[in-house]
Amino acid sequence: MNDERARIPFHRPSIGEEEIAAVTAVLRSGWLTSGAECARFEEELAAFVGARHAVAVSSCTAALHLALEAAGVRRADRVLVPTFTFAATAEVVAHLGAQPVLVDCEPRTLNLDVRAAERIASELEAGRTVPGVAVPGPAAAIVPVHYAGQMADVDGVGLIARRHGLRVIEDAAHALPAFARVPVSSEGGEQTRWRSVGTTAEQTCFSFYANKTITTGEGGMLVTNDAELAARARSMSLHGLSKDAWSRFAAHGSWDYQIVAAGHKYNLTDLAAALGRAQLKKAAGFAQARAEIAARYRELLGAVDELELPEVSPDRVSAWHLYVARLRLERLAIDRAAFVEELGRAGIGVSVHWRPLHLHAYYRDRYALKPGDFPVASAEWARCISLPIFPGLTERELERICNVVKDLSRRHARARAARG
């Protein structure tokens, strides 16, 4: 098929001979489920981000569930969650019988608005209601999300957590690798230093879904510096088995085990871990490729008046999991749905990240939420489009995407007089 007519997918995984060889070796080993490969993957991922402990699991959703449980979140607790996130961030709160308390996003990065979170935490602590919460009471935890790969205001979240006694679990499904410049105290006064995602919260949860920087097909990881939290998450990830039960099938293991809690089936397989280990060796290169594509998008689309392109703060290094452009709808004669449809007809795979939680039927109806409760998220999601960004995206493909975007913007631009 002619390159100019072939569909450009939203994502294409970067899998090489190294990954194939690693998975084949596990298939030939006779040990397929959680074992030595998982243990090595945990060690290598922890070292990569600078954490002491890591627990490999079946998804980031599983990691979030385990992290909240290990942190002591229980039935009827309240957990602050951004409304501008994927369903997993809040649904794990509901699985524990707790209540997700939604927080609006800030307009520039679309990350959690820490001022709004501070306000909500204070209202709950004072016994006052907030949108979606009929019975007030102090919050127990907060789950910031690093949207599109740019880390949220981790310093601001930390301040809120200390003021209100909140446990912090970061949803870093988009953010590997990513970095934030944060303030640190020293004898010479206030200074700053770069910190990696995975080191700025009590627990951090990663995703290795097919379209992430590194993939295991399906999979995730919980990292922490707290040995007790790691041990609890590890036990609960496999039916609540006692610690010594993990090695019961190894040569030095014991057949005996105890169930210490009603756990889950969240363990990762050695097949997936082998793939992840091979991918992790390439993670820095993958991240650099994504950053270069993001820079090219800015070069090629920066002059399009009908688009607002994403920016990275000077105190952040983004993983560029997503490239989210925002349509300036007041300058266009069509809406986002029509724009996306035309991109699709032109053979460009795009997506939207995300419909805010309060606009989904479950959260809207269960918690009596309205679009006006979270005005920034309600307005911004209506103009977001995610353009393809992955290491294998060629220059020809990228130029074609940009040419189509520019052509659509030009053809559907409102006359300047009509813009008001």
Q: From the candidates 212, 281, 370, 406, which is the catalytic residue?
A: 212
Q: How far from 241 is each of 35, 83, 411, CA to CA, in Å? A: 15, 34, 61
**Which strands, in side-by-side order, build the sheet including 141-142?**
53-57, 220-224, 203-207, 167-171, 141-142, 78-82, 99-103
Residue 87: CB atoms within 10 A of its CB come to 15
Where are the strands (E) in 138-248, listed by range?
A: 141-142, 167-171, 179-186, 189-196, 203-207, 220-224
**3-class SS letters over 110-162:** CCECHHHHHHHHHHHHCCCCECCECCCCCCCEECCECHHHCCCCHHHHHHHHH
Where are the strands (E) in 275-394, listed by range?
A: 307-308, 316-317, 323-327, 384-387
At 337, the amino acid letter reads A
Q: Contact, 54 vs 45, CB < 8 A?
A: yes
H-helix or E-strand containing 244?
A: none
| Dihedral sign for Cα atoms in the order 283, 289, 292, 294 | negative
Q: Contact, 101 vs 147, CB < 8 A?
A: no
- In 3D space, the residue among 262, 268, 214, 258 whose CA is nearest the CA of residue 236 turns out to be 262
Secondary structure class of 394 (helix, strand, coil): coil
> What is the rounded CA–CA span in Å between residue 225 and residue 389?
32
Q: Phi-psi bin for 189: left (phi > 0), alpha (psi -120 to 50), beta?
A: left
Secondary structure class of 287 (helix, strand, coil): helix
Secondary structure class of 218 (helix, strand, coil): coil
What are the helix and strand counts (H, E) for the chain? 13, 13
Secondary structure class of 336 (helix, strand, coil): helix
Is 212 an annotated catalytic residue? yes
> What is the rounded CA–CA span in Å between residue 293 and residue 202?
32
- In 3D space, the residue among 122, 157, 131 whose CA is nearest the CA of residue 143 turns out to be 157
Catalytic residue numbers?
A: 212
